[in-house]
Structure 1
Amino acid sequence: MSAPGSVADRYELLGVLGRGGMAEVHLAHDRRLARQVAVKLLLRDLARDTVFQARFRREAQSAASLNHPAVVAVYDTGEDEIEGVPTPFIVMEYAEGSTLRELLSDGPGPPEWGLEMCAGVLEALDYAHAHGIVHRDIKPANVMLTASGRVKVMDFGIARAMGDAGMTMTQTDSVIGTAHYLSPEQARGEQVDTRSDLYSTGCLLHELLTGRPPFTGDSPVAVAYRHVTEEPGPPGGLVPGIPPEVDAIVLKALAKDRHHRYQSAAEMRADIEAVLGGRSPAAAGRAAPEPPTAALPATPASATATLPPVTGAATHHRAGRRRPAPKRNRLPVVLGVLALVLAVAVGAGLYLLNGDDSGGGTADLTVPDLAGLSLEEAEERAAADDFEVAEGGSRPCEAAEDTVCVTSPAAGTEIGPGGLVTLIMSSGSASVEVPDVVGDPVDRAREELEALGLDVVEEHQPTDTDVPVGTVLAQDPGRHAEVEPGSTVTLTVRAEAPPEEPRTEPVPDVTGLPFDEAEAALVAAGFRTGRQDAPGAAPAGEVTGTSPAGGTQHPVGGMVTLLVSTGPQEGEEPPAEGDPVQIPDVSGRPFAEADAALKALGFDTMPSSYPDDTQGCLPEDAVRYTEPPAGESVEPGGRVYLNCYRG
């Protein structure tokens, strides 16, 4: 969006800090309180939508009610007309530092670091939950580590008070959120509560420990499918050296059934602090499931998408075996997979996923690793182990085409004899076709590319063409290129040419010249002139100095004030040559006038300003005092300092 220079005649916008699905965040200067702040502006297209306006205002109200060191503070909210559109804005604390997303670009840190980061997140969530607010969008990009080492949670972008009865994550048949951190209930479009935030925090902790979220996939829907149907593997299965106690914390937070998760942020934080203190956490007794059968290609963890809600509607036929499909528009297939697996989950309950906890009946069997087998081989192997088999369609993955990609439940999961194992076949390696976005507004181009799971980098290039500012001039890779999900597309965007630096010239030294000659010399040098008269020892009409002083570099066309003597005051005798001269009281007078008066008496003047004595004085600045002070006598040509108020 093309942002104004200021918002509400108070906040001067200095540059874009980031962009989200709803808003753009700018670094700004608060003119009234002289401090840096972050200003969030609702995107222009959404500002015309009353539904999004209401959601944006609700965000402001939610965040403004929180006052805690671990929560980015909200200072002000309002609405301003930007390019003819009433646009809501939020003014927030500007916290200098890095987001966990930025820090993770260098890879995961030691387990202690990840635990400490999540302890700070849970401190913020504990406070927010106590005030009836669920964040709903915990992810690395929304957690800041400040320069002082403080963890701060920001962007309650889709937070709503829990007291809003019946509020769910469904909106126009969509689930709103970042797929890699969605809780199962969010993916299904169900009511969320505080434990949904704890699931997302578990996803965050998993990524801080391993460098990747617990579930990845080729599309947001594929990731949501895994959140709903698959058990996560312990982080220690991916990164050696992670203690089992830490695995236990992550797996408890990632329980599919929210009743089996931590029941409060304080409870999860207590377990983390126990591990940091060398004690055993309460979650240590929870059994850890085996890692998933096969790793899926990673999609960028920062990609936010709008997901269709996963429903539990039963299907009336078994999915047939699917031949390799085009690499585009696989959404219907994935939705079919989700519907099939969830129909089984609804019909059979959690028994098939979690086993029989009663301790009675026939012993459970372990789902075999079928990845890489052909359909016939997988069916024979599963039947030999006493499992029922269903085909769940196909999807891109690293397994060879027409072989098993993954199973649900995952390999290593224990289920009862005769339990159903769904086979997801491979349609070949994943790739994305880059669309043609040259000529599009950069906001629209970014949205289209990120929806395909691609990262976007903007390079702004000033140009004199007639193309509107913010238009994509070029892209790399070009249109129709086949790239892996998570690849970076660089967009060259038309920017406004920076203003030219004004040309400067030295101010001519015209001291001692008659006013007319001095003025002519300044005009010839390209300057505008002003005049300031003051009594002094010099003859009337003689220039005693200029502001800026002679020799100073000054913009051509800028104003130069000539300080002109009106001669000695009536009745005042000029001092005898060589006699000390008394410094007059010039406090409160404009600098230009005071400076002229002192120079007219033969003093060598030097300006300084308050509170920064390294700066000079402007002609209109008021003089505070002189050094030496008024009343003292100084030899002709002696130095007198004028101290001014700046501004």
Structure 2
Amino acid sequence: MEQQFSATDIEGAAGTSSVSYLGTGTFGETWRVVTGGKDAAYKIIYRDDADLERLRREIESYRRVASENVVRLDNVMYLEIAGKRRANLVFEYIEGGDLAEAIPNGRPTGDQLVNLASGLLQGISAIHAANLLHRDLKPANIALRRGDYSHPVVLDLGLAKLMDVESITRYPQAIGTPMYMAPEQLRGDRALKASDLWAVGVVLYEAATGTHPYVAPGETLSWDTFFERIKNKPALPEHVPVTVSDLIDRCLSEQPHKRGTVAKAILRIKGE
């Protein structure tokens, strides 16, 4: 998706001249906004029919998520932007960019990979403990505090559910970009806790190698080809720590039950 709003639009809506564009995602675009001495990330929802009151009720579930590895969600409100009322989610702003920006610039060390895996698992565990699923974990939804691979922060927690999107992409559309959603989601089945683990595996593989485990950059696959490919586990370089390699191998199991649980994955990544 392309950027829809200008800096002038956001300045007028937020009542400040201190704004900067951060990026566009599945559900809307995000801006850094400094107002009243507070630094925040505004997630502006594109959908015109977003129900503010329902969003306010739902936000209480997300406030139960307490983890340094999950972005803090502070508020939801309407903003008048370019002549239309838009729902806006207010998150803490995290300095350092995201994983999608970091991956092209170099591979993490072995220790950083272990810490990245541990942080992602801790964040997903906190989301699941609040009876939520993420459903859309990918490098662009993982911030890195101070740009450090060792300090990941999961963004856009549960927005797929919040926006009433059960499965963002459904079979049998063609795959044109790297995929992070579990096979069961892509087939249109209900998302599971294990679906988030699949995404952890894909993200860690990409961080470790710079490439998606199943889809080459710019490659377009049929669904039949994609589902055939995921039957075989991708190889990992020898420099990847054994605990991370084992975690990726489990997470990329086509059958959800073979991925195990987040709790056990956390123990394994710690070598326990």
The TM-score with structure 1 as length reference comes to 0.36
After TM superposition, the structure 1 stretch with the greater mean CA deviation from structure 2, 245-254 or 192-201, is: 245-254
Q: Contact (CA 8 Å) 1:40, 1:89: kept in 2 or not?
A: yes
**In structure 1, C-alpha distance between the alignment counterparts of 2:43 and 2:53, rounded to whole Å:** 10
Q: Which residue of 2 aligns with 1:158?
A: 159
AA aligned to 2:268 is D
**In structure 1, C-alpha distance between the alignment counterparts of 2:22 and 2:66, rounded to whole Å:** 23
Q: Which residue of 1 aligns with 2:72?
A: 73
Q: Which residue of 2 aligns with 1:268?
A: 265
Written as runs of structure 1 = structure 2, the 5 A alignment for 1:606-625 is: none
AA aligned to 1:25 is T
Task: Give % identity.
Answer: 25
**In structure 2, C-alpha distance between the alignment counterparts of 1:115 and 1:223, rounded to whole Å:** 34
AA aligned to 2:269 is I
Q: Which residue of 2 aligns with 1:18?
A: 23
Deviation at 1:115, TM superposition (A): 2.1
**In structure 1, C-alpha distance between the alignment counterparts of 2:159 and 2:142, rounded to whole Å:** 15
2:246 matches 1:248: yes
Q: Contact (CA 8 Å) 1:134, 1:194: kept in 2 or not?
A: yes
SS of the aligned residue for 1:134 comes to coil
Written as runs of structure 1 = structure 2, the 5 A alignment for 1:40-79 is: 40-43=43-46, 46-47=47-48, 50=49, 53-54=50-51, 58=55, 61=59, 63-79=62-78
SS of the aligned residue for 1:137 comes to coil
Gapped runs of 5+ residues in structure 2? none
SS of the aligned residue for 1:155 comes to coil
CA root-mean-square deviation: 3.2
Q: Which residue of 1 aligns with 2:87?
A: 88
**In structure 2, C-alpha distance between the alignment counterparts of 1:73 and 1:16, rounded to whole Å:** 19
Change (3 A) 1:87 1:270: same
Q: Contact (CA 8 Å) 1:216, 1:223: kept in 2 or not?
A: no
Q: Which residue of 2 aligns with 1:359?
A: none
Deviation at 1:22, TM superposition (A): 2.3
Deviation at 1:259, TM superposition (A): 1.1
SS of the aligned residue for 1:197 comes to helix
2:44 matches 1:38: no
Q: Which residue of 2 aligns with 1:200?
A: 199
- Structure number having the greater strand percentage: 1
Change (3 A) 1:200 1:8: same
Q: Which residue of 2 aligns with 1:169?
A: 167
Change (3 A) 1:152 1:224: farther
Q: Contact (CA 8 Å) 1:19, 1:25: kept in 2 or not?
A: yes
**In structure 2, C-alpha distance between the alignment counterparts of 1:98 and 1:150, rounded to whole Å:** 11
Q: Which residue of 1 aligns with 2:142?
A: 143
**In structure 1, C-alpha distance between the alignment counterparts of 2:154 and 2:232, rounded to whole Å:** 25
- Structure number having the greater helix percentage: 2
Change (3 A) 1:152 1:137: same
Q: Which residue of 2 aligns with 1:27?
A: 32
**In structure 2, C-alpha distance between the alignment counterparts of 1:247 and 1:182, rounded to whole Å:** 19
Written as runs of structure 1 = structure 2, the 5 A alignment for 1:416-431 is: none
AA aligned to 1:99 is D
Q: Which residue of 2 aligns with 1:216?
A: 215
Q: Contact (CA 8 Å) 1:182, 1:227: kept in 2 or not?
A: no
Q: Contact (CA 8 Å) 2:107, 2:208: kept in 1 or not?
A: yes
AA aligned to 2:189 is E
**In structure 1, C-alpha distance between the alignment counterparts of 2:246 and 2:265, rounded to whole Å:** 11
**In structure 2, C-alpha distance between the alignment counterparts of 1:111 and 1:97, rounded to whole Å:** 20
The TM-score with structure 2 as length reference comes to 0.81
Change (3 A) 1:57 1:100: farther
Q: Contact (CA 8 Å) 1:80, 1:87: kept in 2 or not?
A: yes
Gapped runs of 5+ residues in structure 1? 280-647
Change (3 A) 1:90 1:250: same
Q: Contact (CA 8 Å) 2:214, 2:234: kept in 1 or not?
A: no
| CA displacement 1:482-501 (0-9 Å, x = unmatched) | xxxxxxxxxxxxxxxxxxxx
SS of the aligned residue for 2:66 comes to coil
SS of the aligned residue for 1:77 comes to strand
**In structure 2, C-alpha distance between the alignment counterparts of 1:93 and 1:125, rounded to whole Å:** 18
Change (3 A) 1:267 1:154: same
The alignment covers a number of residue pairs equal to: 258
**In structure 1, C-alpha distance between the alignment counterparts of 2:51 and 2:77, rounded to whole Å:** 12
Q: Which has the higher contact order (CA 8 A, sep 6+)?
A: 2
Change (3 A) 1:13 1:66: farther
Deviation at 1:174, TM superposition (A): 8.2
Q: Contact (CA 8 Å) 1:210, 1:235: kept in 2 or not?
A: no
Deviation at 1:261, TM superposition (A): 1.0
**In structure 1, C-alpha distance between the alignment counterparts of 2:17 and 2:172, rounded to whole Å:** 36
Q: Which has the larger radius of gyration?
A: 1
**In structure 1, C-alpha distance between the alignment counterparts of 2:44 and 2:89, rounded to whole Å:** 7
**In structure 2, C-alpha distance between the alignment counterparts of 1:145 and 1:268, rounded to whole Å:** 21
Change (3 A) 1:101 1:193: same
